[in-house]
Amino acid sequence: MSELSGKILAQSIEHLNIILLMGLAIFFGTAGARVFQKIRIPQVVGYVVIGLIIGESGLNLIGRDTVETLSSFNMFALGIIGFMIGGELRRDVFNKYGKQFFVILCSEGIAAFILVAVFTGFVAWHFTGNLRTSVAISLVLGAIASATAPAATVNVLWEYKTRGPLTSTVLAIVALDDGLSLLLYSFASSIAVVFLGETNGSMWTIILMAVFEIVGAVILGVLTGLLLSFILRRIKEPDKALAFTVSSVLLVIGLSVALKVGSILAAMTLGVTIANLATRRRQSTFELIEKFAPPIYVLFFVLAGAHLVVGEITGWLIVMVLVYLVGRTVGKAFGSWFGARVSKAPDVVRRYLGLCLLSQAGVAIGLAIISSQLFSGQVGHAIIVIVMTTTFVVEIFGPMFVKVGVKKAGEVGLNITEEDLIETYSVGDVMDAEVPVISAGMSLSEVIKIVSNTNSFYYPVVDNDKKLTGAITLDGIRNTFATQELNDWLVALDVMEPIIAKVTPDIALSEALERARRLDIEYLPVVASNEDDRFVGVLNRRVVSRSLSAEVLSRQQKADSMHSAQNA
């Protein structure tokens, strides 16, 4: 009995440690991202750096066994990322730019594949002297290099609220890149296996298995998407919509693993299906997932950073890492420029798309792990060390280049929502400082004259020192006429209403609007400060809402006009 209790206790401690480490990773990853944001560096960089610090290369809080234990979580995170990217691939976008996207995709992916394969092949041959081994390594690394990390790239686009032709192209390319990379890897790995003599079947068998992975993933994503779309049309509660959507992503990932098809591609196809079928619920569904996802992203990138072990990087592998980085960067930059030029893409796409395609993470790491299992000895070890090291480097610098690209393209802040604007404003930014003011001793006839000559519905009442004492509303004046007989004897002080709540100009707009909603009032008078009751303006909820809607629409129209102008 005591032995059984000991085992249960050991298992409990083990599970507690993993949960504790997950909590530490999310907490410190978020804190690190906050620090990096303060110095204008994308938050994803902070996640990766914290992962390196608490991983084997730093404090060793998260060891290799823990990272392997949480590999299922990484699959779930990649599934959420793939689903969100799929949500951006709407039918109307592909109707306009589908051919353009395909040309750019093939150009940048194949260019990166060729350059990395050639560069790393020559270097590997120089150091190993083995032609077959060099060709195998170079083909696999070239295929992996064609992948672009959707998570880090899209995270930056969401963080900076971008919208426009460059953003649309980036979202489409990173979404489709994984499919191209899987296809290239399937062919490259099959050839590499033949070169190394480690195959148990013909090359055609391996190629057919690769095609099955891709086609099967698409079919699985579409079928699950049809089911989820049917469900979403019949439920209205946001919590149930979130539960069904997350469970659908989990089902797709789980089934794809069981069926041995591409899990990220399946989740992406699920997102595409929902985006194009459940059109009325589409926006709210993806907004729910977007609010649910941040802790998942944080833990995913922290684990990616913790995965790198600096001590495993030897001399010749450092050279391989450098040539891989150069070949991939040049291939992505030249390929995207060439593809954009051939397809007559907008000028901003030609100039800046290459900057936005440098990150690599989930798919590259996944293919590297598969390669380490597929190829024994030196080849497998070299591939996983090179990919893990380059992933860490580009996850540090890639998001920074994405930020530079969208900023130079003028697309930052064009996909902002009313909630985003509210978080950036204070009461003083949106209050009405020109509202008519009534003095406390003003006669009712004078009050009525002011009301009849202005369009306001709310009139602050102030004393001789301009301090706020109350307010007059149109409803209040109507009630006065209905209940009072001696209207000529009345002054503003007699008909004004007491002030339920007031705010100051420096209060956050979000806090002020929440207070007004809680009290169910339309107007909030604004005074100079908490110590000074001098009236300075009025916060009108309805006017603020109209103003914010107009600002959001203006920015969206600016982004849409960029699309139109660039494609005219």
Query: What are the backbone angles phi and psi of residue 298, rounded to the nearest 5°?
Result: -60, -50
pLDDT computed for residue 32 by the predictor:
81
Q: What is the DSSP string of 275-313?
A: HHH-HHHHHHHHHHHHHH-HHHHHHHHHHHHHT--GGG-
Quick one: pLDDT band at residue 91, thresholds 50, 70, 90?
A: confident
Higher confidence at residue 486 or residue 47?
Answer: 47
pLDDT of 487:
56
Query: Is residue 355 a contact partner of residue 332, using CB atoms and an 8 Å limit?
Result: no
* Per-residue buried b or exposed e for 6-26, using 16+ beta carbons within 10 Å of the residue's own CB: eeeeeeeeeeeeeeebbeebb
In this prediction, residue 2 carries a pLDDT of 46
pLDDT of res. 331: 93
What pLDDT is recorded for position 327? Answer: 93
**pLDDT digits 0-9 by tens, 277-293:** 866 666 677 778 877 88
- CB-count burial class (<10 Å; 0-12, 13-18, 19+) for 515: middle
**Statement: residue 568 has pLDDT above 70:** no
Beta-carbon contacts of residue 326 (< 8 Å; ≥ 6 apart): 119
Q: Please tell me the predicted confidence (pLDDT) of residue 265.
A: 76
CB 502 within 8 A of CB 458: no
| pLDDT for the residue numbered 29 | 85
The DSSP secondary structure of 162-181, one letter per residue, reads --SHHHHHHHHHHHHHHHHH
Mean pLDDT of 13-30: 74
State yes or no: pLDDT of 114 exceeds 90.
yes
Q: In what order do the strands lie in the sheet with 468-473?
A: 438-439, 458-462, 468-473
pLDDT of the residue at 298: 83
Contact 41, 400 (CB under 8 A): yes
The answer to whether 175 touches 159, Cβ cutoff 8 Å, is no
Q: What does the alpha-carbon distance between residue 156 and residue 95 come to, in Å, rounded to a whole number?
A: 26
What average pLDDT does the chain have? 77
Range scoring the smallest mean pLDDT among 86-95, 239-248, 479-488: 479-488
Residue 507 pLDDT > 80, yes or no?
yes
Question: Quick one: average pLDDT of 153-176?
Answer: 80
Contact indicator for 123, 322 with CB cutoff of 8 Å: no
Mean pLDDT for 117-130 is 86
Task: Please tell me the predicted confidence (pLDDT) of residue 13.
Answer: 39
Q: Which residue has the higher pLDDT, 536 or 413?
A: 536
φ, ψ at 70 (rounded to 5°): -90, 15
- The position carrying tokens 């006669």 is 443
469 phi, psi to nearest 5 deg? -120, -20
Residue whose tokens read 């707009």: 509
Q: What is the pLDDT of residues 350-395, one digit of tens each?
A: 888 988 888 876 667 667 766 766 676 677 778 877 887 787 788 7
| pLDDT reading at 86 higher than 50 | yes
Q: What is the pLDDT of residues 134-162, one digit of tens each?
A: 888 888 889 888 888 777 787 788 777 78
Q: Is 236 exposed, middle or buried (0-12, 13-18, 19+ CB in 10 A)?
A: exposed
- Over range 282-305, report the average pLDDT: 78
Percent of the residues in the chain that have a pLDDT greater than 70, as a whole number: 77
Average pLDDT over residues 524-536: 85
Sequence-distant contacts of 474-483: CB under 8 A, at least 24 apart: 477/447, 477/448, 477/451, 480/444
The pLDDT tens digits for 53-81 are 887 777 777 776 776 677 777 778 878 87
Same fold, 36-415 and 423-550: no
Domain 423-550 has CATH 3.10.580.10: yes
Residues paired with 459 in a beta bridge: 472
Residue 555 reports pLDDT greater than 70: no
Q: What is the pLDDT of residues 451-486, one digit of tens each?
A: 777 777 788 888 888 888 888 877 666 665 545 554
Q: Is 3.40.50.1950 the CATH classification of the domain at 36-415?
A: no
Taking the C-alpha atoms of residue 526 and residue 430, their distance in angstroms, rounded to an integer, is: 11
Distance of CA 426 to the CA centre of its chain: 26
**pLDDT value at position 356?**
87
Percent of the chain at pLDDT > 90 equals: 6
Q: Enter the tokens of residue 99.
A: 């051919």
Supply the DSSP symbol for 200. S
pLDDT at 44 over 70: no
Residue 317 has pLDDT above 50, yes or no: yes
- Delimit the domains of the chain by residue range: 36-415, 423-550
CA dihedral 460, 461, 463, 466 (to 10 degrees): 10
Six-digit token string for 188: 């490259």
Q: What is the dihedral of CA 338, 339, 342, 348, to 10 degrees?
A: -80
Task: Look up residue 63 and give its amino acid.
Answer: G
| Three-state SS sequence of 371-410 | HHHHCCCHHHHHHHHHHHHHHHHHHHHHHHHHHHHHHHCC
Number of H helices, E strands in the chain: 24, 5
- Answer yes or no: is pLDDT of 193 > 80: no
pLDDT for 192 equals: 76
Q: Where does the pLDDT of residue 9 fall: very low under 50, low under 70, confident under 90, or very high at 90 and above?
A: very low
